[in-house]
Amino acid sequence: MIKQYFRDQLGFRLVLASLLIGSLLSVFSTGIQLVASYNSQRAEATGVLDQIETTMSETLELALWTFDFDQVNIILDGIASNAAVTHLDLSSVTGHRWTRGVASETPLQRIYDLKHTPSTGQVQHLGTLRVELSLEAVVDRVWAQFWVTLLTNLVKAYVAAIALLYIVHRMISRHMHTIAEHVDGSSVATPSTELHLDRATRTKTDDLDRIVRAVTAYEGRVRKTLNTLQTEIAERVKSEQDAREALSVRSTFIGTMSHEVRTPLNSILGFLHLIETGKEVPERQRHYANVASRAARQLHNQLSNVLDMSRLDSNAVTISTRPTDIRRLAAQWQETTAAAVHFHQKDIDVTLDLEADLDAEYELDGARLTQIITNLTDNAAKFTTKGEIRIGVRRAPKQPDNGIGTCLEISVADTGPGIAEEDAARIFDRFSQIDEGLSRSHGGTGLGLAISLEMAQLMGAELRLASDERDGFACEFLLTLHCNVRLDSDHAAS
Amino acid sequence: MTRLVFAVLFAFQAVLAPLQAQTLSVVADEWPPFSGEALPNGGLSLDVISAVLRRAGYDVDTQVVPWARVIDGAQTGEFDIVGSLFEDAELQTFLSYSDPFFSTDVRLVQRKGDSHSFTTVDELRPFSIAVGDGFVYEADFDRADYLNKVVVTTTLQGVQMVAHGRVDLTLDSVDVIRHAITHDDPALADRVEFAPGVLVSQTLHMGVRHDLEGSTQIIADFNRVLGEMRDDGSLDALLAVHASRLIPE
Ligand SMILES: Nc1ncnc2c1ncn2[C@@H]1O[C@H](COP(=O)(O)OP(=O)(O)OP(=O)(O)O)[C@@H](O)[C@H]1O
Ligand SMILES: [Mg+2]
């Protein structure tokens, strides 16, 4: 039973605190009592000296004067019988001397001048009495008193503490325990039993009642909020699923449609190409075929874009890296761009700017990277009328902090019309084209940059429009890509 | 038969009664050299009294007690006889005195070199005199309330007070004074002396309490035997034992 109280940490600490305070107060109050008792006993002891003065000295003087030494002895014995008196020394002018006790070093002593005062005539000096007092007995007594008082006070403090332990346990701790167990055991889903404390009902409520009420009310509120949340979640899950289904249906539809359209489009392109390159085709028909081929190619591009977009939306695009020779890749990009420029029959230089000490191979997805860069070069070829298109590959100025891998920066710059600052923000949005007229004349869907951005994000790269124009270029796109360096076989072996 | 036995027993007792010695309790106070616990045979008085009474056929039991108890005991019947008494009217109201068995002079003691002169008690007026508490010295002196008397307990105290100039005079039997000086404080002999003249010559008596059965007979027996002893010289022999304590002047 008691053990259980002592395991009640709160009560135990409370009791320890009360014990500590009780003990300190005990010592303090006992100390005060001690001092008071010491002072009064000291006064009592020293009072003996006054008492000798007032009551004994006269008879002593008379006895000494009349040489009544029996009486002198009786009086001295009387004085010496006082416990505080340690030494008496009486010497008379007649050469007689009496001593009692042993002389000691004590500050408490008094010397009495004994004299005879006759009714007439001169006062006669009879002798001197020295009385020494010791407070040893007083101190001993006071100490004894101190220990007894302290002990009783401590016992009182301990008994009170144990009683307090019991009371705290009964009145507070066990109820706290019940509340804690209730809160612990109550699950939000299933309503638990009502919180009830084992205590007599009172008319006036106290803090424990208030806690019980608060806990119960809180449980109710939590349950209600939870119910609302649960219905909300169920609704959202359902609508999300609906949306996902709709999206997938759309993507499948678009995918299927694009495929269904692309297959005949390819045969159209193929036959138009045959007509264009046929020997006996008259020039006029060859021109028609060329126009039709152009339109078909544009249609093909647009279909590819839509298809890519829907594949991105349905998460069908995956990135798979492979050791890739970036130089060769860049050379391909240059060729493709040159072909595009040729296709548009424009007089534009396509240049390649490769950093000298690039590593041989990088781990990257060449196909997807090419798709992004081609979108950029297509745009450059499309919107630039004369001048230069420059493709750059270099190490990014900012390299990874941990030193693993390399950051490559690939840039596509042109001397076209450029992109105004206020338009820079929306060119990456789907279906957004800046100059409606210009874009219409060039065709396109406004999806190229949006697809490029999403693909770049898929491969963890950053695609952005350079903010400042350099080397006379009107517009420059930058792709920063982090990729691992493919180590040489020598290095790998070691 | 029973009657006869009682008659015989009665007769026997009647014959034995006068022969059976009476035990008398004799008491005196500490008053050396006349009486005192430490003195040979209890001092001169007790020695003489018990010797005389024994010779008279009495059993005697002596003891020394303080003066106040002596007086009280004699009045309540605790003690039968009081030894070492000077002539005193007040004591004679309850004690019957025997004939004297010793005489001593009562003299005044002064500091050596003092030259006080007086011939009557009245002439002692200017002086402070140490007197024993309840002591009997001389009728006129004892009555003289006008004198500057300082009451002390023992004769020695009086002599010491004189020696240290605390009083002018003290007085007592010369035998008592000499005994006190010799035995208690010989140094005093150089500081005090007897004043010229004798206040009174006192005699020592035994006193029997009035209400003691046969007190008259006891006194008569005592006086008779004392006379016989004085005549046959045995009293002188007895006194000689205490002579060493009666130092001549
Ligand atoms: N190099 C550039 N110079 C000037 N404007 C550009 C350049 N690249 C893109 N733009 C502007 O950004 C718009 C969006 O380009 P985006 O590639 O997304 O679409 P598009 O080229 O018009 O069509 P699509 O690429 O689908 O055939 C273009 O319409 C054009 O206005
Ligand atoms: Mg484009």
What is the ipTM metric for this complex? 0.74
Sorted by where each begins, the domain ranges of chain A are 2-158, 319-493
Residues 6+ apart with CB under 8 A from B156: A67, B180, B181, B184, B185
Q: Could you read off the pLDDT of A57-67 as tens digits, one per residue?
A: 889 999 999 99
**Contact A66/B156, CB-based, under 8 Å?**
no
Which residue's CA is the closest to the ligand 1 atom numbered 20?
A446
User: From the CA of A130, how many Å to the nearest CA of chain B?
Assistant: 23
CB atoms within 10 A of CB A258: 21
CB atoms within 10 A of CB B151: 13
Residue A478 — φ and ψ, nearest 5°?
A: -125, 135
> What confidence tier does A133 reach under pLDDT thresholds 50, 70, 90?
confident
Same topology for domains B11-102+203-245 and B105-201, yes or no?
A: yes
Pocket-testing residue among A298, A305, A386, A427, ligand 1, by greatest number of atoms within 8 A of Cβ: A427
Q: Which of A365-374, B11-20, B24-33 has the lowest mean pLDDT?
A: B11-20
| pLDDT reading at A136 higher than 70 | yes
CA distance B135 to A74: 23
Question: Burial, A415: exposed, middle or buried (Cβ in 10 Å; 0-12, 13-18, 19+)?
Answer: buried
**A314: contact with B, CB 8 A cutoff:** no
Query: Among partner residues A66, A93, A124, which is closest to B157 by beta-carbon distance?
Result: A66
CA-to-CA dists, residue A275 to A270, A271, A294, A340, angstroms: 9, 6, 13, 21
Tell whether domain B105-201 is in CATH 3.40.190.10. Answer: yes
- Which residues are near ligand 2, the ion (C-beta closer than 5 Å)? A 379, 448
Q: Name the class of domain B11-102+203-245.
A: alpha beta
Average pLDDT over residues A334-362: 91
Residues 6+ apart with CB under 8 A from A24: none
Sorted by where each begins, the domain ranges of chain B are 11-102+203-245, 105-201
Residues β-bridged to residue A170: none
CA distance A318 to A365: 10
Considering only CA atoms, which of B39, B175, B161, B22 is closest in space to residue B107? Answer: B175
Name the closest ligand to CA A442: 1
Residue A72 — φ and ψ, nearest 5°?
A: -55, -45
| CATH architecture of residue range(s) A319-493 | 2-Layer Sandwich (3.30)
Q: Could you read off the pLDDT of A37-78 as tens digits, one per residue?
A: 888 888 887 888 888 888 888 899 999 999 999 899 999 999
Q: Which of A445-459, A479-493, B141-155 has the lowest mean pLDDT?
A: A479-493
CA distance A140 to A160: 30
Question: 3-state DSSP call for residue A365?
Answer: coil
**Contact B152/A71, CB-based, under 8 Å?**
no
> What confidence tier does A487 reach under pLDDT thresholds 50, 70, 90?
low
Considering only CA atoms, which of A88, A93, A89 is closest in space to residue A125? Answer: A93
